Structure 1
Amino acid sequence: MSLPPDRPVHRSGADLGDHLALLRRRWLLFLGCFLAGGTVGLAIMRVTPPAYTATTYVLVTSVGVPEPGNQVTSRQREQLNLDTEAQIAQSAVVATRAAAQAGTADLEPVEVSVPPNSSVLTISVTAAEPGDAALQSRAYAQAYLEHRADSARAEIAAQQQLVAVKLRQANAALSTVIGELPALPRGGPEHTRAALRQTVLSRQVAVLTQKYDALKTVTVTPGEVISAATPPQDPSSPSLPLHLGSGLMAGLLIGAAAAQARDRLDTRLRTAADVERLTGLPVLADVTRPLDHGALHELSSAVLASCPGKRLLVKAVPPALGGTPVAVPLAANVPLAVLDGTDVGDLARADAALLLIGLDGADASDVASVVRLLSRQSVPIIGAVTTTDLTPEPVRAPRGQHTSLGKLVASGEIETGIGARTTAPMHPMRRPPGSAT
């Protein structure tokens, strides 16, 4: 749609005011979607079967053998890498052990988390029955501790075997040196080197023996259950705040999208604000018929300030509304030739145009067609007047029996205006010779 050249184009949705205006226009649709979303959320909560969550708390301690170290941070202040332990607790190996302890092969997934600044694992299981949730949570915790203890014992056994091998090698080398030492001459370099090697091997055997004895006495302490899971009394899901909040939020988003789409597709003109928003034309007055004194005064002032010429065309949208109800009182109140569009030459004589738009009777496409028509004739539009009175204009008499207001005013046979003289109309066929046509 073509806009007046002196009116800047405003992009809808460019600021907060546009969104608030959209909310005011489509509040019913917006509210309906919002409430529908909340209702759907509550309905989903009602049909969702309840689920129960049981949690077991496990204190993890060092097993006494070297383990993967953890970087000390503000979240984890222990050297033990609990993030790794959490992954182990969720592994398939632990799940197999837990299934054997629980006596079932159909275990629910386990969730393991690490509270910050602690050496505790929270092992949670969600099941349809509270007893099953507690049983499986305890089974996972016990299976994790057993797996951790078995892994530590296997590591200790491997270290003991390695130390034993080295100890046997050191003892064999020491025996060889001790056997060679008496045959070497005292004070010679060979004797000195053999004595030094004997001393080094003796120390190595002592260190390995001490380490082997330490590994044999290591106590494996994988951790302990500090709070065993019990059957929960209340279900953990469905959650009223979660489902209701999610439904309301979804309804909020759908309502906003629906309101935006409805606002873009709806071109019906219902208020003066719709006229300015959808057509870009300034609304000079919002009146009903007949025009009251205050509205007529404001309209006359706006017309005089905006009209670039002496002849003003009042164009009705829709056409059946007719421009006479505004053209007649306006012609009596402004020093302009006001054309009501009933004469075929009104469009050619007009210097400017004023649109009379019937609210709830026209849409933006109707106004756009009129704007294109006036643009092709180079007739600028100074604004629009809106009305809620959609009474069609009475059917006029045939042209030979009636002279339109626009024709009489445009021909100068009737001069109207503030303080102007009004003369009787003269029939076009009875004009004096030499008069203007």
Structure 2
Amino acid sequence: MSLPPDPQVPRSGAHLGEHLAPLRRRWAILVGCVVAGGAAGIALLWFTPASYTATTQVLVMPVGTQEPGNQVTNRQREALNLDTEAQVAQSAVVAARAAMALRGAEPEEVEVSVPPNSAVLWIAVTAAEPAAAATQSRAYAEAYLAHRRHNALTAMAEQQRTVLAKLKHVNSAIELTIKRLHTLPRGSAEHAIATQRQNVLNRQAANLALKYDELRTVAVTPGAIISKAEPPAEPSSPVLPLYFGTGLMAGLLAGAAAAQARDRLDTRLRTAADIERLTGLPVLADLSRPGEHDLPLDRPHDRPHDRPHDLRRDRAHDLASAVVAACPGNRLLVKALPAHLYVSSPAEPLMIGAPLTVLDGSDVRDLSRADAALLLVGLRRVTSTEVAATVRRLARHDVPVIGAVAATDAVPSFVPFIEAHPHTSLGKLVATGELEVSVPAESTRMQALHRPRRRGKPA
């Protein structure tokens, strides 16, 4: 015979519903924070000054052999290293040239980007005015091209000087070699070597001359502006979706944190579900509502107000059954929290008997004789800390708490009223038809009223 498998006990926090439950309970805080975050985003959008972005597109071209080589990849398939050119376009030298073109005005910061697989630079400037943004973007583009042209011309001039100096040196060597050939006898080895040297120098001189002429005739084209910046018609920032979405997200996060903190710090019991959640006590009955939604409708035309007497009897029977099933003994101590909750509201006695002796705690011996306790918790008037303290106090006297009954300030008619006098305490519920002798300060026989009373008013 195999043993049954162990039951799966759910762990706390293992389900998403446990984390979302505080948000459902504190939905007002969450919604308020989300609305406040959205309003703050719109307010920030309203007070943030508008800015405009203008972009100039520059096509970059090679200007000579001095260009730094670029590794051809999937992103950049041009031989020119545009990432380096983008950094040059943002350099202080180009900014100084742009400032000179703007007649000393301090230009805004520039942003340069390189689209993949292209030889184009996007030079963008953001300013408070559309015209200023377009003017500064064009100034940066022209300053970059001027700087690039100047560098190319300077490098080519340096190359020309180097080639020309080397050509002069070769020509001087050729002159010396020719003068030496006239002094050497023909057919000698020295004459043959000098002739060979002359031929080599002549070829070098010819190559240098060709290179020098090439450098002098190279056209320097650093690039061209293919799209001039125009004053933008719409501001680039602030953007409504960005500000509003950020405000909503910030409000959502703040609302979730505030709802979690409020749910953890708030110990006041407002509903029957709060009693089970915060104290761990089972709720045997929820008497905080009139019971209009708890009445079973046998026919479509029935209404809750048509049968108030049957409703009270059914709910009283369910409460009595739950108490009898949960009580481990015959003496039940009924304790109200707070103690003065039901003093001003007389109650109608139960018509259903139960094999229990109900103690109200008015006698000093009630706590020692009680086999179990039932707590009548006044919603919105007591906290979970007070309920826990009462449970611990009863546990010190070996009185277990079988559960709680949630109620408001008005005692429903089927809840026994706890009298302050010792000889008029709650009666003894007897399941059988036999009568028991009443004991002072311990139990009294419950009597039925012939006419029902309205909720919240004494009979």
TM-score by length of structure 2 reads 0.78
CA distance in 2, matches of 1:284, 1:23: 26
Check whether the contact 1:310–1:337 (CA below 8 A) recurs between aligned residues: yes
- Return closer, same or farther for 1:110/1:382 CA change in 2, 3 Å cut-off: same
Tell me the residue number matched to 2:32. Answer: 32
Check whether the contact 1:64–1:219 (CA below 8 A) recurs between aligned residues: no
Tell me the residue number matched to 1:233. Answer: 233
* Larger helix proportion of the pair: 1
Q: Which stretch has the larger CA shift, 230-239 or 343-352?
A: 343-352
What 5-or-longer segments of structure 1 have no aligned partner? 1-7, 429-437
Tell me the residue number matched to 2:155. Answer: 155
- Return closer, same or farther for 1:235/1:196 CA change in 2, 3 Å cut-off: same
List per-residue Cα deviations over 1:231-270 (Å, max 9, x = no partner).
Answer: 1222222222222222222222222222222222221111
CA distance in 2, matches of 1:283, 1:189: 125
Query: Which letter does structure 2 place at the counterpart of 1:30?
Result: L
Check whether the contact 2:377–2:407 (CA below 8 A) recurs between aligned residues: yes
Question: Which of 424, 427, 430 is the matching residue for 2:437?
Answer: 424
TM-score by length of structure 1 reads 0.82
List per-residue Cα deviations over 1:305-359 (Å, max 9, x = no partner).
Answer: 54444443333222223699999749x5543444333332232233333322111
CA distance in 2, matches of 1:377, 1:204: 117
Query: Which letter does structure 2 place at the counterpart of 1:121?
Result: L
Tell me the residue number matched to 2:397. Answer: 377
- Return closer, same or farther for 1:356/1:198 CA change in 2, 3 Å cut-off: farther
Tell me the residue number matched to 1:360. Answer: 380
What 5-or-longer segments of structure 2 have no aligned partner? 1-8, 291-310, 442-459
SS of 1:384 mapped into structure 2: strand
CA distance in 2, matches of 1:304, 1:344: 24
Query: Which letter does structure 2 place at the counterpart of 1:418?
Result: A
Tell me the residue number matched to 1:346. Answer: 366
Superposed CA RMSD: 3.4
List per-residue Cα deviations over 1:71-119 (Å, max 9, x = no partner).
Answer: 3333222222222211111111111111111223221111111122221
Query: Which letter does structure 1 place at the counterpart of 2:437?
Result: A
CA distance in 2, matches of 1:255, 1:205: 84
Tell me the residue number matched to 2:276. Answer: 276
Tell me the residue number matched to 1:314. Answer: 334
- Return closer, same or farther for 1:183/1:305 CA change in 2, 3 Å cut-off: farther
Q: Which stretch has the larger CA shift, 189-198 or 141-150?
A: 189-198
Please list, as runs of the form range in 1=range in 2, the aligned pairs for 1:58-73 lying within 5 A after superposition: 58-73=58-73
Query: Which letter does structure 1 place at the counterpart of 2:109?
Result: P
Tell me the residue number matched to 2:242. Answer: 242
Check whether the contact 1:289–1:325 (CA below 8 A) recurs between aligned residues: no
Check whether the contact 1:57–1:122 (CA below 8 A) recurs between aligned residues: yes
- Return closer, same or farther for 1:98/1:418 CA change in 2, 3 Å cut-off: same
Tell me the residue number matched to 1:127. Answer: 127
Q: Percent identity?
A: 59
CA distance in 2, matches of 1:271, 1:397: 27
Tell me the residue number matched to 2:305. Answer: none
Question: Which of 393, 401, 425 is the matching residue for 1:404?
Answer: 425
List per-residue Cα deviations over 1:369-388 (Å, max 9, x = no partner).
Answer: 11221232233333322123
CA distance in 1, matches of 2:175, 2:403: 117
**Are 1:206 and 2:206 counterparts?**
yes
Check whether the contact 1:135–1:229 (CA below 8 A) recurs between aligned residues: yes
List per-residue Cα deviations over 1:379-405 (Å, max 9, x = no partner).
Answer: 333332212345599784544xx1534
Q: Which stretch has the larger CA shift, 168-177 or 264-273?
A: 168-177
- Return closer, same or farther for 1:216/1:361 CA change in 2, 3 Å cut-off: same
